[in-house]
Chain A
Amino acid sequence: MQINLKVWRQENRQAVGGYKNYSVSDISEHMSFFEMLDKLNNELVCKDEDPIAFDHDCREGICGSCGVTINGRAHGPLRGVTSCQLHMRSFKDGDTLVVEPWRAASFPVIKDLVVDRTTFDRIMESGGYVSINTGGTPDANAIPISKLDADAAFDSATCIGCGACVAICKNSSAMLFVGAKVTQFTKLPQGKVERRVRVKNMVAQMDAEGFGSCTNTGACEAECPKEISLTNIATLNKEYLKASLC
């Protein structure tokens, strides 16, 4: 098959970016979207042109490195799938795909489709942990945790930190990301000890990094490749309110 691409090209943080058109032919439907980009990049290098920079690593949908917006959809048209797990069989011969980096003031573009998400790390630094050191911990079975709570904690902890929620949100809100971490720890006895200070600090850092607020549109849940539920934001709000009152 043949695909037309309209790709965001931007030399570096300071440069002004713009779209550039490419046509890629001889694409097999079994290729992943990134393997199609690999093919294009190989052709570009041979033609002495600058290949398209994009973040990617595991290509298994778990590392969270990748993420591009395709025709306005974060990680492309499929639900619950990262960009790297998207295959060309999801598109038709002759389709035109507009490929953009995550768009958010808190995710500045480094080059082309690569963005800087260190803001997420700083939010995690502000409280995304249980404050224990290595060693001296009790036996792992000392505190029973109901299977329902453990499973619910896992459902939140499955977040890969890709930033699709922010990229697709009209407010560039990081509340699904923060909500998922806060919810994970709220469900577990180990996390409950610091729940108040954690939620306050993480929300404060989120605001300081310039992420917007949530207006319950739900685009984040719809586009999250790990299908993290909007109820994580509800839990975040509840925890924040409780912490503010105490």
Chain B
Amino acid sequence: MAFNSNIPKGPLKEKWTDHLFNMKLVNPANKRKYKIIVVGTGLAGGSAAATLAELGYNVEAFSYHESPRRAHSIAAQGGINAAKNYPNDGDSIYRLFYDTIKGGDYRAREANVHRLAEISNNIIDQCVAQGVPFAREYGGLLDNRSFGGAQVSRTFYARGQTGQQLLLGTYSALTRQMKSGKVKFHPRHEMLDLVMVDDKARGIITRNLETGEIKSHAADAVILATGGYGNVFYLSTNAMASNATAAWRAHRKGAYFANPCFTQIHPTCIPVSSEHQSKLTLMSESLRNDGRVWVPKEKDDKRNPNEIPEDERDYYLERMYPSFGNLVPRDVASRRAKNICDAGHGVGSTGLAVYLDFNDVISRKGQEWVAEKYGNLFDMYKQITGDNPYVCPMMIYPAVHYTMGGLWVDYNLMSSIEGLHVLGEANFSDHGANRLGASALMQGLADGYFVIPYTIGNYLASNKLVDVDVDHPAFKETEDEIKAFNTKLFSINGTRTVDDFHKELGKIMWDYVGMARNKEGLEKALIAIPKLREEFWKDVKIPGSESEFNPELEKAGRLADFLELGELMARDALNRQESCGGHFREEFQTEENEAKRNDEDFTFAAAWEYKGENQTPELHKEDLNFEHVKPTTRSYK
């Protein structure tokens, strides 16, 4: 097992440039001799698959969706950051790097984040060349807006559908390669295991979701770009099928899982309405550019918000953080919303909501201007809640949105398993303990378009790989394990549905491993989760059979993994005796209730090694060195 960050030597600003030169290349004629498996075809996987195929590699791409265009990247609303400095407001690569390190509360690698900032500008160029219709000014140049955690406008956007437009760009590049035959796309195929030969990742086992067929696929290297694990909470802004199975099963095969407790609770989501809720919907952070967050100064004020006079409103973010105001980072905004609701100022039927009010901007610039900028978000809000946000302020509350944690990777995006590379939200690398808005799209595309195409070449050129095909016994062995796993699931024939168990897990996670955590609660979770897991394996009920289209079976397999991952999240949260970014331990806070880091003991990435079922995992620490940005207490005041 390799556990070395492999950060190149030399000055920060030259590391990536030097590394590009120092990496070995695969000669163009030899690239066609290699096969690379890409699992997941959202922004990160899709861009990687397309780019690798353009370079000449043979790519096999897999998705549990029917088409790459369905990936959840499509739902990203607000935008994508880049250090173009088009608005001439003082942005630079270094400032984007600095903001991202600070925003992540000093728990990310400097070298990775600087590379990300360097690449950011190429991404915008690439997307524009693909025909992505970004928002423009009347002069024909690109428009920018602001996002949380930054005092410059560096976010490029396409109304409230930036993720959709970027994904369709990636999808178009991918379909071009599908047509050329360099990418073979397998729709409705879910990866169920990783296959290792000589301690290297050499293939995967998939289930065809339509027919149930279990099949082996061999390759020279494997890339996972399978997204985040927010659905461990049951209710999140993730899509219904988003899951951790590919990543978790790779973890069980030896890939370290890093910082699993770093989850992002997004401050502006539509509040939970009742028990039947199946998922939560985000209202883009971009709304905080023009919307003002407030609650009534009086507790339990049940008046119609429009009847509450100005001086009886508490615009608490503007009051507490005068320099960043409504645009404080997500973790800060979420925590403040929770605190103010816990103190009795929450609004709505549950008291778990705050207002996001557009009255000011509507009277300043008119409804048409607002509709042009946020029209689709306002329509979505109205469709879901039945209220019209042009007339009455939106009600919002934090919800699980993104996971900064993920499979540990080195600077080359390779996991602790040789040959297994991890991109996008599925890895842990760039956002530290809190991701800034509009940085997920940036990272996914940076990894796929501009990092992995080089680093995977270096891996292939530096290793003499023996020829392996699916006749190798390792494939048969792994296939048999998967079949046995499915047979075991069906043999239970219990009384409770998968969703029923999933809701219970979600409640444990939200109550004890959610927005605010403490030792007592985390210890409770560490008892409750294994107990629930045991019950699941005794009492879950799955209809139908293995050899058919069976969504309940898919969900059961994914939940089995969440039931293990949830425990690791609680363990990691308990171990990290400090507050940082999205990880808030109630025992560690300043007098002003801000997160209190413990840099002396916890300036590391926690990489957990799987040690077997019901065994305590082993913690490996990757020390983080801050040579350029001196960790200080984040202040957005």
Task: Give A contacts to B, CB under 8 Å.
Answer: 11-12, 28, 30-32, 34-35, 38-39, 42, 44-46, 48-51, 53, 55-65, 80-81, 85, 87, 89, 110-111, 114, 116-118, 120-121, 124-126, 128-135, 137-141, 143-147, 150-151, 153-154, 157-158, 160-161, 184-185, 187-188, 190-191
Contacts and interface: CB of A to CB of B under 8 A. Distances in A.
Interface in B247-303: 273-274, 276-279, 281-282
A126 B180 CA distance: 10
A160 to B, nearest CB: 8
A62 B74 contact: yes
B625 interface: no
Given A58-B239, A124-B171, A134-B450, A45 B140 contact: no
Contacts of A120: 67
B72 A134 contact: no
Contact of B125 (A48, A129, A138, A187): A138
A57 B126 contact: no
Given A45-B497, A58-B72, A154 B133 contact: yes
A157 B168 contact: yes
A134 B54 contact: yes
Contacts of A125: 175-176, 178-179
Interface of B: 47, 50-51, 54, 65-72, 74-75, 84, 86, 122, 124-142, 158-159, 161, 164-165, 168, 171-173, 175-176, 178-179, 185, 187, 210, 239-241, 273-274, 276-279, 281-282, 379-380, 383-384, 386, 449-450, 453, 495, 497, 499-500, 541, 543-544, 548-549, 551-552
Contacts of A11: 548
A61 B175 contact: no
Contacts of B497: 42, 45-46
B74 A46 contact: no
21 contacts: A46-B497, A55-B66, A57-B70, A58-B74, A59-B240, A114-B549, A117-B66, A118-B187, A121-B175, A133-B51, A134-B51, A134-B173, A134-B453, A137-B125, A145-B140, A153-B133, A154-B159, A154-B165, A157-B158, A158-B161, A188-B133
B273 A51 contact: no
Contact of A89 (B158, B168, B386): B386
B383 A126 contact: no
B129 A111 contact: no
A17 to B, nearest CB: 14
Contacts of A143: 128
B164 A62 contact: yes
A158 B50 CA distance: 22
B183 to A, nearest CB: 10
A29 to B, nearest CB: 9
A143 B129 CA distance: 10
Given A51-B552, A85-B384, A118-B187, A30 B131 contact: no
- Main secondary structure on chain A at its contact with chain B? loop
B140 A144 contact: yes
Contacts of B549: 12, 53, 110-111, 114
Given A30-B274, A60-B281, A117-B67, A191 B551 contact: no
A161 B133 contact: no
Given A62-B164, A65-B66, A157-B165, 17 more contacts: A11-B548, A12-B549, A32-B278, A57-B239, A63-B69, A63-B239, A116-B66, A121-B67, A130-B172, A132-B130, A134-B453, A140-B128, A141-B84, A151-B133, A154-B133, A157-B133, A161-B69
B179 A57 contact: no
A194 B395 CA distance: 47
B88 to A, nearest CB: 12
Given A49-B543, A65-B65, A134-B453, A147 B129 contact: no
Contacts of A80: 379
Given A58-B239, A137-B129, A87 B386 contact: yes
Most buried by A among B137, B172, B386, B499: B172
Contacts of B139: 144
A78 to B, nearest CB: 8
Contacts of B122: 135, 137
Contacts of A57: 65, 70, 72, 239-241
A66 to B, nearest CB: 10
Given A28-B276, A58-B72, A147-B136, A161 B164 contact: no
Contacts of B158: 154, 157
A135 B173 CA distance: 12
A161 B543 contact: no
Given A85-B380, A114-B549, A131-B176, A150 B134 contact: yes
Given A59-B278, A118-B187, A134-B51, A50 B67 contact: no
Contacts of B551: 51, 53
A220 to B, nearest CB: 19
A35 B544 CA distance: 21
Given A125-B178, A137-B125, A188-B131, A51 B278 contact: no
B274 A61 contact: no
